[in-house]
Amino acid sequence: MDETPERLAGKPSWLISQLSVHVHRLVADAFSAEGARGYHYRILAALDEFGATSQIRLAQRSNMDRSDVVAAINELAAHGFVERSPDPDDRRRNLVSLTDAGTQRLEELEKVIEGVQEDLLSPLPQDERAALSRLMGRLLAHHRTR
C-alpha cells in the first residue's frame, strides 16, 4: 500500500526522485546479473562514441569522479575490455581505448539497458515515451547550463 502524503504525490520533484531510486535499482540489478556495473557501461559507451582518451577526459565525458574512473578502468582492463597506453603527447598520461572485446561487451550491456527501458516504460505507449524523453532532456539541458 502506497502511503505517500498527497502533498508529495503530485509534485514532479518527488515523483522524479522516487522514480530515480527505482530506475537505479533496476539498472544495478540488471547489470549485476551480467557481472557489470553502471560505471562500466558509461565508460565503454564514452570510449565507443569519442574514441581513445585520457582518464581525466573520460571522467568528464562519463560524468564520474576520477577515482571511480580509475577503479572501473582497472576492472574493465582486467577483462580485456579496454587498454591503457602512454599518451604520445604526454608520457605522464595514459590513453584508454576500447578493445574488440569491449565493443562486444558494450553491445551486451546495450541489450541489458534496452530491457530495463522496456520494463520501466511498459505502461506508456510509444508517443508518451517519446514525449517523456523529450521533456526530461529539456529539463536536464536547462539545469546543466546553470
Domain extents for the chain? 20-144
* pLDDT tens per residue, range 80-128: 999 999 888 888 888 999 999 999 999 999 999 999 999 999 999 999 9
pTM over 0.75: yes
Residue whose cell numbers read 587498454: 83
The yes/no answer on whether domain 20-144 falls in CATH 1.10.10.10 is: yes
- Nine-digit cell at 129? 515515451
